Amino acid sequence: MKRRAADNRRPVRRSLWRSIWSVLGLFCLAGLVLFVVHHNHNGDRTVQPLSEDTTASFREEDHQVFNFTDEISSDTSFARQLAEQMTLAKAYIIIAKEHNNLHLAWELSSKFRTSQLLLSRAAMRGEPITLEEAGPVIKSMSSLIFKAQDLHYDIATTITTMRTHIQALEERANAAVVQSVVFGQLAAGSLPKSVHCSIIKLASDWLQYPTLRNLADEIRNSPRLVDNNLYHFCLFSDNLLGTSVVVNSTVSNVDHPKQLVFHIVTNGVNYGPMQAWFLSNDFKGATIEVQIMEEFSWLNASFFDISHHMKTSSLLNHLRFYIPKIYPQLEKVVFLDDDVVVQKELTPLFSLELHGNVNGAVETCLEAFHRYYKYLNFSNPIISSKFDPQACGWAFGMNIFDLIAWRKANVTSRYQYWQKQNKGGTLWKLGTLPPGLLAFYGLTEPLDRRWHVQGLGFDPNIDSRLIESAAVIHFNGNMKPWLKLGIEKYKPLWERYINMSHPHLRDCTSS
């Protein structure tokens, strides 16, 4: 069954975007008021007297329950006049500063603060602003606004300047979002000192003991690595402890662990420690292969050109789109992220009917914000012409891939095409999920939700019954279980699969 069209920071900082839309609203209002002022000003620099009807209406309202929101929205209120003048004043302050007219900017700022104080007092005391309070301020502010107009700060200049500032604000917002995601990834990828200590000792073991390297050679030549009668799992990671928990939890929850084969790809820095760890621990007879990403001769310049801005761990993440190339003789694999814990046997995944699809994954659109339009830029015609914005998103982290169907659909080429289209970052920002949504569009089979439960790295309120029923729980988010900032009540679910009996880990933890 093909994907139904209409069916892993991470929400953008809402306060930042709220600020942007507030400024946009401010500028729009400024333009409207400026237009009215410009076309009604014909040389008379005096403020029109406020009518008796206006003051009488406020006397009547004094006896009613005061609502400041209604007050500032009323066409006849002094609060509304002050607010509109403040909007114009704010725009002219910016323009005056850009034209180096600091005196005018200072005068406008002073009157702006006076108006702001009047509004604050009215809100605090729960009474409307009176004519006696507002009249002098409105008059003096009007004079300054007319003065700004005489300096040729006209509508066109104002709109151009405001547009420039909106663009600058949007760029700052986007940069802040990217920066927060990068910082979050750095924090999530960091490891405790005890783990770094263990890695150093394991690297030393790898160099010191030839028997470990001989065992690694034997595994590298094992026919089990290409036996499609066995159950194959792949992980791409530079996180030794996380990878160990994934392997250990998988073999601990299966009836026949000797039928499992794990294919791990890491970088050159972590290769030795990974090999030493998996060769010196007991994983109940499961076969564990460790490879170095840098030794893949087929990784050509185009891959690194696409990914030139990424750190090594991100390059490892993008290897998931090259699985058929890495394992050309395999027919099916289960892909696992290094921040998951397996709680139930996963071998039934290999017999699931995918109905000709490539990717079996749990959909995440139980809430509206997990649909395609939240991950991709549908204002770009390249996206909007080919994809349904309401299509349902799905999760990376636990996926069953039919590699025969993958090769037939040429999914890797799809991925490469979309990465090239996004070189300027106009189609999506960061992560592997957006290009995955594009590459596997129409090729993903929805799995039962209990196969893969996400959110343990950011949501402390997941239903405990859902966690208990899950085959795989995923600590996606920045609050990883190996960090101090991890969610405490979830940590035991991960920690129970750490082999604390290993001498290096034990010694490094106690020291």
CATH of the domain at 211: 3.90.550.10
Residue 241 CA to residue 469 CA, distance in Å, equals 25
Same-domain pairing of 275 and 214: yes
What pLDDT shows up at residue 158?
Answer: 61
What pLDDT shows up at residue 120?
Answer: 77
What pLDDT shows up at residue 248?
Answer: 97
Domain that holds residue 141: 14-171
> Are 89 and 144 contacting, i.e. CB atoms less than 8 angstroms apart?
yes
What pLDDT shows up at residue 148?
Answer: 78
Tokens of 404: 């025969």
Same-domain pairing of 160 and 76: yes
Number of domains comprising the chain: 2
Cα separation values, 444 from 156, 396, 438, Å: 51, 11, 11
What pLDDT shows up at residue 51?
Answer: 45
What pLDDT shows up at residue 181?
Answer: 53
Cα separation values, 232 from 11, 139, 218, 286, 394, Å: 34, 79, 18, 10, 22
Domain termination site, one of 143, 171, 199: 171
Q: Can you give the pLDDT of all 511 residues of the chain as single tens digits?
A: 444 444 443 444 444 445 544 544 555 455 544 444 444 444 344 334 444 444 444 444 444 455 666 776 677 788 888 888 887 787 778 777 777 788 888 888 888 888 888 887 777 777 888 888 888 888 888 888 788 777 755 556 666 666 666 666 666 666 555 555 555 554 445 556 667 788 889 999 999 999 999 999 999 999 999 999 999 999 999 999 999 999 999 999 999 999 999 999 999 999 999 999 999 988 999 999 999 998 888 876 556 555 554 544 578 999 999 999 999 999 999 999 999 999 999 999 999 999 999 999 999 987 556 889 889 999 999 999 999 999 999 999 999 999 999 999 999 999 999 999 988 888 988 788 999 999 999 999 999 999 999 999 999 999 999 999 999 999 998 899 999 889 999 999 999 999 877 888 777 876 6
Helix (H), strand (E), coil (C) string for 23-62: HHHHHHHHHHHHHHHHHHCCCCCCCCCCCHHHHHHHHHHC
Domain termination site, one of 136, 171, 206: 171
Same-domain pairing of 165 and 203: no
What pLDDT shows up at residue 47?
Answer: 38
Is 372 within a domain? no
Its pTM stands at 0.64
Same-domain pairing of 357 and 421: yes
β-pairing, 444-447 with 359-362?
parallel
β-pairing, 398-402 with 359-362?
antiparallel
> Are 206 and 272 contacting, i.e. CB atoms less than 8 angstroms apart?
yes
What pLDDT shows up at residue 246?
Answer: 98
- Please list, residue by residue across 176-185, b when 16 or more beta carbons sit within 10 angstroms of its beta carbon and e when fewer do: ebeebbeebb
Same-domain pairing of 158 and 229: no
Domain termination site, one of 127, 143, 171: 171
What pLDDT shows up at residue 164?
Answer: 63
Is 346 within a domain? yes
What pLDDT shows up at residue 173?
Answer: 60
Residue 145 CA to residue 92 CA, distance in Å, equals 8
